[in-house]
Amino acid sequence: MILRIVLAGLLCLGVTVALGWAVLERPMPVENLPERVASAMPESGVEHPITAVLLNFRSYDTLLEIAVLLVAVVVALALREAQPDQPEQMGLDNPLLRAVMAWLLPLILVVAGFLLWAGSYQPGGAFQAGSVLAAAGVLLRLAGVTTNWLDNALLMRAGLALGLLTFLGIGLLVMLPGVPFLTYPAAHAGTLILVIELTLTLSIGLTLLSLFRLTPPYADDPDDARPQEDRNL
Partner 1 sequence: MIGLWSVPLLFALPLALGILSLLVVPAWRPRLIFVGLPLLAAASLDVLAGLATAGPQVYRLGDWIAPLGINLVVDGLAVGMILMTTLVATLCALYARVYLRDHPPASSFFWPLLWFLWAGMNGIWLAEDIFNLYVGLEVMGLAAVGMVALRATPQALAAAMRYLLAALLGSLAYLLGVALLYAAYGTLSMAGLHEAATNNATTQVALALIILGLLLKTALFPLHAWLPPAHGGALTPVSALLSALVIKASFYILLRLWLVLGPEVTPELTAQLLGVLGAGAVFYGGWMAWRQHHLKQLVAYSTVAQIGYLFLFFPLVTNTSPEAARLAWDGTLMMLVAHALAKAALFLSAGNLILAVGSPQISHLVGISRFRPMSLFSFGLAGVSLMGLPPSGGFTAKWLLLHSAILSGQWWWLIVLFLGGLLSAAYIFKVFRMSFREGPQIDRSVTPPLTLDVVALVLAASAILIGLFAHLPLHWLRMGSVLGMG
Partner 2 sequence: MSGSLVFAWSGVLLFGLGLFGFIAHRHLLRRLLAFNIMGSGSFLVLVGLAQEGRGVDPVPHALVITGIVVAVASTALALVVFRRWYRASGRTDLPEDT
Chain positions contacting partner 2, by CB under 8 A: 4-5, 8-9, 11-13, 15-16, 19-20, 23, 26, 28, 32-35, 37, 49-50, 52-54, 58, 61-62, 65-66, 68-69, 71-72, 75-76, 79, 83, 125, 127, 204, 208, 211, 214-216, 219-223
Name the residue nearer to partner 1 (CB basis): 140 or 164.
164
Of these partners, partner 1, partner 2, none, which one is at the site of residue 30 (CB under 5 to 8 Å by kind)? Answer: partner 1
Binding of residue 19 to partner 1 (CB under 8 A): yes
> Is the distance from CB of 45 to CB of 190 less than 8 angstroms?
yes
For residue 26, give the DSSP letter.
P
Of these partners, partner 1, partner 2, none, which one is at the site of residue 49 (CB under 5 to 8 Å by kind)? Answer: partner 2
- Which residues does 20 contact at the CB level (< 8 Å), separation at least 6? none
Q: How far apart are CA 200 and CA 127, in angstroms?
A: 8
Binding of residue 36 to partner 1 (CB under 8 A): yes
CB of 117 to partner 1, least distance (A): 23
CA 127, 128, 129, 131 dihedral sign is: positive
Q: How far apart are CA 97 and CA 77, in angstroms?
A: 30
Q: How far apart are CA 33 and CA 38, in angstroms?
A: 9
CA angle 46, 106, 124 (to 5 degrees): 25
Name the residue nearer to partner 1 (CB basis): 71 or 102.
71
CB of 149 to partner 2, least distance (A): 22
Binding of residue 29 to partner 1 (CB under 8 A): yes
Binding of residue 8 to partner 1 (CB under 8 A): no
First to last CA, the chain: 32
Q: How far apart are CA 6 and CA 12, in angstroms?
A: 10
Binding of residue 179 to partner 1 (CB under 8 A): yes
Residue type, 100: V
The secondary element (H helix, E strand) that includes residue 75 is helix 59-82
Residues that bind partner 1 (CB under 8 A): 18-19, 21-27, 29-33, 36-37, 40, 56-61, 63-65, 67-68, 70-72, 74-75, 77-79, 81-83, 154, 157-158, 160-161, 164-165, 168, 171-172, 175, 178-184
